[in-house]
Structure formats: C-alpha cells, structure tokens
Amino acid sequence: MRRNLLLIIEYDGTAYHGSQVQKNALGICQVIQDALQKVLGVREDIVACSRTDSGVHARMFCVNFYTDRDILCVKMKYAMNFHLPWDIRVSDCREVPHGFHARYQARGKRYVYQIWNADYESPFLKNRALFYRYPIREELLNRACQDFVGTHDFTSLCSAGSDIEDKVRTITQCSVSREGNMVLFTVTGDGFLQNMVRIMVGTLLRISEGKLAPHAIPQVLAKRDRAAAGITAPACGLYLDYVFYDWDFR
C-alpha cells in the first residue's frame, strides 16, 4: 500500500539557492530528492511546506512524499541522514494520513531573525546572524513591531519584483527581545510574502536608527509602496523556526 511519509528537516541554508528545485542552481529540495532516490531506489516527488530564499535557514522545514516501500520511519531518518550533506538533517520521520499536504495544511509559520548586536563580529555566527554594531533599543522596537500584528496589505513589505497579487496577510504575534548580545525578532503569521520578514527587520532597524518614527509602521503599510519601508535585511539572520499544523510536533 502506498504510504505518505513526512520528513521534518533542519538546515543551514548558506550554501543553497533557497529551498525550491531550480534549473541552474542547487536548492534544498533537490538535495532531499537526491538522498531519497538513494534510499528508495526511485525518484519520488516531494511537497514542501514553504519556500525559503538563498541563505535562509530552517529549524523546521517539512516535506511529504508517497512511497511503496515499507521501510520503518526510524530507519528512513537514519538512512536519509547518511546520504545528506552535513548542513541538512532529518530530525524526524513519521507516517501521515493520505491526503496530507505539507504546504496546504500548514496553518501558519513562525520566523526568527537573529541580530548579533555587539562591537565585534562573533566567529561562531558567520552566515548565521546579522552583525549590527549600533545600539538597539529592543523595548522600543518591541512596541513598534506590534503595529505589524493584524490583517494588513503588506505590499510595502514585499519584494518589488514579486508577482503575487494578493498581498494581504495576518500576523498573529510579533516581538523583539534580547538575550545578551543577541537581539531576536520573532514573528508568527498565516503566511509571508517574498522577503517580508527581512523587510520587517530592515524597517525596525530604520526606527532604531531614528530614520523612521517609532509609530511609523501604520503609515508605511498604508502607502503600499516598497520604497516606504526599510532595507531588506540580509538572509543570513533568518530562520524558519516552526510550521503549525493541526497537531504539535514538539
């Protein structure tokens, strides 16, 4: 009987051109398919929960696929990790109901953006956090980012080259916090546009620098103009942190 298996994956995206399969660049999903082919002997189609950009990381990235093989899930996990490169790892494998779709049944996603806020670069965080030497008032930014919460047209916070017409999304939670020298921007929503989280971060940094007023975010959103927002923060600090389904994977 054909089975539907779900892989939960962690990866360092530094060496990859995003998660999707591409003709002229190496993406995460291609590497996963290559490993699956070595384990199963056939090249199965996979369904990914989301797309991530070049250089973006994931602590929870979900893909599902169908197979006729009766391999145990625990053996699938170990076999995949044997064939995957060091920067991509399967943290869990489980059988899911027929019809489960890793993308369409995702109820939301949580992203975390890491900013190393110190007067020196950490040798342990290269390509894993944005180095930002100027002072950050995390309490100010935590208050400011609450204006992202709610259902809004996020045209101003979407890549200008995006071809997506409906840019309305709902943000359910947003915060800026500090753990020592690390400043963390955490945001949860029902979906995200191209570069949306990175532009959110860039906009907050403009507020931190005094180039935008602390309560400017509603005006930025209202303009529906990419030029009204901040820069697109580098991909290195962004992590797909959690994907929400009707059950909890933790």
Helix (H) or strand (E) holding 65, with range, is strand 57-67
Pair 232, 113 in one domain: yes
Q: Please tell me the total count of domains within the chain.
A: 2
Q: Residues of the chain with pLDDT > 70: what percent?
A: 99
Please identify, among 64, 96, 128, the residue that sits at the C-terminal boundary of a domain: 96
Confidence at residue 60, expressed as pLDDT on a 0 to 100 scale = 96
Confidence at residue 161, expressed as pLDDT on a 0 to 100 scale = 77
C-alpha triplet 107, 110, 112: angle, nearest 5°: 170
Pair 46, 163 in one domain: no
Q: How confident is the model at residue 31 (pLDDT cuts 50, 70, 90)?
A: very high
Confidence at residue 155, expressed as pLDDT on a 0 to 100 scale = 95
What phi and psi, each to the nearest 5 degrees, are found at residue 22? -130, 155
Whether 228 shows a pLDDT value over 80: the answer reads yes
Rg (CA), the chain: 19
Confidence at residue 24, expressed as pLDDT on a 0 to 100 scale = 82
Please identify, among 96, 129, 147, the residue that sits at the C-terminal boundary of a domain: 96
Pair 49, 29 in one domain: yes
Whether 250 shows a pLDDT value over 80: the answer reads no
Pair 120, 238 in one domain: yes
Enumerate the active-site residues: 53
pLDDT, tens digit, 9 for 90 and up, residues 189-218: 999 999 999 999 999 999 999 999 999 999
> Which DSSP symbol is given to 213?
-
**Token pair of 9, please?**
């994956």
For residue 227, being part of any structural domain is answered with yes
For residue 174, being part of any structural domain is answered with yes
> Which DSSP symbol is given to 245?
-
pLDDT, tens digit, 9 for 90 and up, residues 44-84: 899 999 988 899 999 999 999 999 999 999 999 999 999 99
Q: What is the CATH number of the domain that holds 231?
A: 3.30.70.660
Confidence at residue 249, expressed as pLDDT on a 0 to 100 scale = 62
